[in-house]
Amino acid sequence: MKKKIRIIYIIVVSLALNACADLDLTPKTGISTENFFRNLPELEIGLNSLYEKKLWKIDEDWWTDDMFHRGGPATNDISTGNINSESSLSGVYWTDLYDGIKRANTLLQAIEKLRGVESEDELNRIEGEARAIRAYFYGILVTKFGDVPLLTSNIPLNEAYNVTRTGVSEVKNFIYSELDEAALLLPRNNENRVNQGFAFGIKARFALYLGDFQISKIASKAVIDMGIYDLDKNFRTLFLKEGAASKENIFFIPQSLDFNVNFNNTLTRDFIPRNAGGFGAAMPTFEAVHIFECVDGETIDKSPLYDPQKPFVNRDPRLNETIVEFGIPWLGFIYQPHPDSITTINTLNNERVRNNDSRGVAIFASFTGMLWKKGIEQRWADNPRLADQNLIILRYADILLMQAESLIELNEDLTTAQNLINQVRARAYGVELNQTDLFPAVSELDQNGLRARLRRERRVELMREGLRYQDIIRWRIGNKTITRVVLGMPQPTVQDRNQWPFNDQILPVVDQDGVVLFDSQQLISRNFASLLQTYSFDEQRMYLWPIPASDRFLNSNLTQNPGY
């Protein structure tokens, strides 16, 4: 608990190691190693600064086909195809990640000066944490930008203006090596800090992203073989504050109201229904609700169990734990977005009230008719400041799916890959793996069939956890996931009440990549849907992000990615 408090505290009173606007290589102000890092407590403060939440970049789901945001994010540079070298998004990622790398480099250099003075075990642990986190930052950089400057120590300002980009091959080999060596220094259990499981697991993740399936297979198996992680039997509570102690969590960034480290008020209100005092602005897409299979294990375009007028019935249980089912109590009110539901029930006092979550009443009620449930709880509505559940970076279900995907792509031991997918599916149904009569176990044993299952499984299991975007990028499917028409419910004045919420005449198709494809033109022309936004993805350039123009202005040796 003391470690958790120290981490959270330093996020509030962050160590001033950030510096200039380019690569943050040499601080012009702030604490220097000449007058700091003189002992273990000061090293711990420096280490804790690496856990500052802004450094742990998690991709936004509204860049993908899973989420739409009716506010400013609706025109984000990725979804609109407008990302360029002056986009703030890529600039913030670049600057913050290099700031984190600089902090790690500063700390690692200071550690060596204390060898023989302080506890070797403690110095090794701190070194392991710093190296693992630095490798994580480089992993995000290389998957977003491709070739990036590889800086393993801080350099003088005059040299910073001459650095060049290091090739992906060299950077990724550095990442893998660093994580291997960090794993030797890290404890298996390290309360609220990166640990051995994190080092192996993050290596598996970035190896998968970079197409190194053999490396990912070995690293993910190392986590499994540790024998200390397990799937949580309760999928719902795993993502709430009470899920912090779950054996499924490998690493998360701790948050706490006591130290004012939490999700900000505006963000939380975007996910809260309007009846409960929120905005209902961040919403699941039509694609998100339709990717979940029916209880027979078939996709909605193939299963006789799918009923467009009862879309939450006979579906994978994770649908009802991820997206709010219509007609159920949610955050103090019955959630019913039907255009004729002018009033609803306040479940706290059982009184009937105006239904601000129906577009028949409020024009800014959820445009898709849906709201998120996963990771959201009553405390959010009671007071948005209470949204302080921990920020999960890596969990065991992801490890199992990474191991399965590695085996599938290597086309080896497909029976084990099938078993791993079924472990995750069985948990979703609340049963044991051997109870195949109680859940739709995957039966495919060919590479293509398992690949299709795996891609759907990742999408539904990990939905709203910030992992969908990078899956889209590495699978090279941006042209059919980001490029699309975002569909919403038709206006109440033209909505066919017999075809609500979804029509039974023009069903979507779910393809082999786990992408839900709609005939948008037909749906809109027949008033089965409305057009919310048109998005575009340029395959010639957008699988990588641009190097920020501000850095290239300072350093002409930084080349630009193609198309920017």
Digit-coded pLDDT (tens) for 49-73: 999 999 999 999 999 999 999 988 8
Choose among 175, 161, 126, 171: nearest CA to 25: 161
Can you tell me the distance from the alpha carbon of 271 to that of 343, in angstroms, rounded to the nearest whole number? 21
Q: Structure tokens of 34? A: 């000449």
Q: Which helix (H) or strand (E) holds 181?
A: helix 168-185
pLDDT at 266: 65
> Which residues of the chain have a pLDDT value below 50?
1-30
Strand partners, 251: 394
Our measurement of the distance from residue 510's CA atom to the centroid of its chain's CA atoms, rounded to an integer in Å, reads 22
pLDDT of residue 528: 98
Residue-level pLDDT at 389: 84
Rounded distance, CA 284 to CA 267, Å? 15
Residue 349: burial class (beta carbons within 10 Å; 0-12, 13-18, 19+) = exposed
Number of neighbouring beta carbons within 10 Å of residue 19: 19
State the greatest distance between any 2 C-alpha atoms of the chain, in Å, as a whole number.
Answer: 77
pLDDT attached to residue 259: 65
Tell me the H-state helices in 331-389. 378-382
The whole-number pLDDT of residue 415 equals 99
Structure tokens at 278: 């929120």
User: What local confidence, expressed as pLDDT, does residue 383 receive?
Assistant: 83
- In the chain, the domains with their CATH numbers are 2-194+545-554 (1.25.40.390)
**pLDDT recorded at residue 29:** 42
Residue pLDDT, tens place only, 333-373? 999 999 999 999 999 999 999 999 999 999 999 999 999 99
Contact 70, 30 (CB under 8 A): no
Structure token pair of residue 409: 């792509």
Burial of 39 (C-beta count, 10 Å sphere; 0-12/13-18/19+):
exposed
pLDDT at 19: 31
pLDDT at 255: 85
The pLDDT, as a whole number, for residue 27 is: 39
pTM over 0.95: no
pLDDT for the residue numbered 73: 87
